[in-house]
Amino acid sequence: MAVLVCGGAGYIGSHTVRQLLKAGEEVIIADNLSKGHRAAINPDVKFYECDIRDKGALKKIFAENKIEAVFHFAAYIEAGESVELPLKYFNNNVYGMQILLEAMTECGIDKIIFSSTAAVYGEPEKIPIAEDDATFPVNPYGDSKLIMEIMMRRVSAAQGVRFVSLRYFNASGASEDGSIGEDHHPETHLIPLVLQVPLGKRDHITIFGNDYPTPDGTCIRDYIHVLDLADAHICALNYLRGGGASNFFNLGSGQGFSVKEIIDAAEKVTGQKIKKELGARRAGDPARLIASSDKARKILKWAPQFDDIEKIISTAWNWHTSHPNGYGD
């Protein structure tokens, strides 16, 4: 039987496809290519160009292939944009989940592994954040992911679909051979933006606020390598195969780095001085987000391999220097 990866042409989806293939899984990709890249799709994988909101297209995939489980990466991810355009996020993310769950239940597909986010917690009540801490998202993106989790939970209880929801902290880095990596339009994430300075594509990096209650005043985040995230999906699949109950897991390194520390690490990796300027705070940015991933380590038997921030940044640097224009599409 195969697994269906919705959003398999995107950043985390494409790295997960790679790890799934490495683990010997049969993989099928569905992606509408609105954010994903055709060049990120492994040529040996069967690909359906379709939208998650198109139930007919999903049911056709389920009819034409024996699908054991669905991996759901096909969602919008920009917190800032979601504040301006909440309905865009509720349509693609929430309504998309509605259609996917309808298609799955109508076709008897009973396992789903879902890309959730630390954004479901909003401003955390304590650090490190555990899965049963309060969830109060501070933007519509976080809302949409929390609603998607609730939908899976209710459908799981009523109709027997089992899910694993993986709450990612800050996904970063790229495949070690530099063949696939991060390519967002527009790019909003710190590490790729910092690396655009030594690449000559950006004059400076703007630090969004230095008056947070952190040691150097800049925001602290938990950066986790994209291949470690990908591996967690395989652990989640095996957990569900072993009869595991529906569950939520944080995925982070457990270590926090400030914006300034990331810029310093990028200077070491690239061997270049990176010009920085101070800007205003970005709306909705919590001061500190650090995961406790003890639950994933214990229950999913997940063991992240990348524990060094310079190593993580060096894989991103390798990707960006070999693909200065990303996938070029």
On whether the CB atoms of residues 260 and 218 are closer than 8 A, the answer is yes
Nearer to ligand UDP among residue 205 and residue 269 (C-beta): 205
Binding track, positions 124-163, relative to ligand UDP; x by CB under 6 A: ----------------------------------------
Residue 171 CA to residue 275 CA, distance in Å, equals 24
User: Minimal distance in Å, beta carbon 238 to ligand UDP?
Assistant: 28
Q: Specify the 3-state DSSP secondary structure of 190.
A: helix
Which residue is catalytic, options 76, 141, 168, 212? 141
φ/ψ of 131, rounded to 5, equals: -65, -30
**Ramachandran assignment for 122, one of left (phi > 0), alpha (psi -120 to 50 degrees), beta (any other):** left
User: Minimal distance in Å, beta carbon 141 to ligand UDP?
Assistant: 9
- Its sign, for the CA torsion 180, 184, 187, 188, is negative
Edge-to-edge, what's the strand order for the sheet holding 26-31?
Answer: 46-49, 26-31, 2-6, 67-72, 111-117, 162-168, 247-251
Binding status of residue 167 toward ligand UDP by CB under 6 A: no
Our measurement of the distance from residue 178's CA atom to the centroid of its chain's CA atoms, rounded to an integer in Å, reads 18
| Contact stretch for ligand UDP (CB under 6 A) within 90-98, 133-141, 144-152, 185-193 | 185-193
Q: Site for ligand UDP (CB under 6 A): how many residues?
A: 14
Residue carrying the six token digits 């790019």: 187
Nearer to ligand UDP among residue 47 and residue 89 (C-beta): 89
Binding status of residue 189 toward ligand UDP by CB under 6 A: yes
Residue carrying the six token digits 């989790």: 149
Other Cβ atoms within 10 Å of 170 Cβ, number: 21
Q: Which of 3, 52, 74, 205 binds ligand UDP (CB under 6 A)?
A: 205
The b/e string for 83-113 (b: 16+ C-beta within 10 A; e otherwise) is eeeeeebbebbbebbbbbbebbeeeebbbbb
Binding track, positions 272-301, relative to ligand UDP; x by CB under 6 A: ----------x--x----------------
| Residue closest to ligand UDP, measured at CB | 219
Binding status of residue 170 toward ligand UDP by CB under 6 A: yes
| Contact stretch for ligand UDP (CB under 6 A) within 61-69, 100-108, 203-211, 300-308 | 203-211
Cβ-based neighbours of 194, under 8 Å, separated by 6 or more = 205, 262, 263, 266, 274
ω into residue 324 within 30 of 0, thus cis? no
Nearer to ligand UDP among residue 106 and residue 125 (C-beta): 125
| Contact stretch for ligand UDP (CB under 6 A) within 52-60, 131-139, 140-148, 202-210 | 202-210
152 residue type, one letter: M
Nearer to ligand UDP among residue 62 and residue 208 (C-beta): 208
Binding status of residue 20 toward ligand UDP by CB under 6 A: no
Q: Which of 195, 219, 224, 227 binds ligand UDP (CB under 6 A)?
A: 219
11 is catalytic: no
Q: Which residues bind ligand UDP (CB under 6 A)?
A: 170, 188-190, 193, 205-208, 219, 221, 259, 282, 285
User: Which residues have a catalytic role annotated?
Assistant: 141
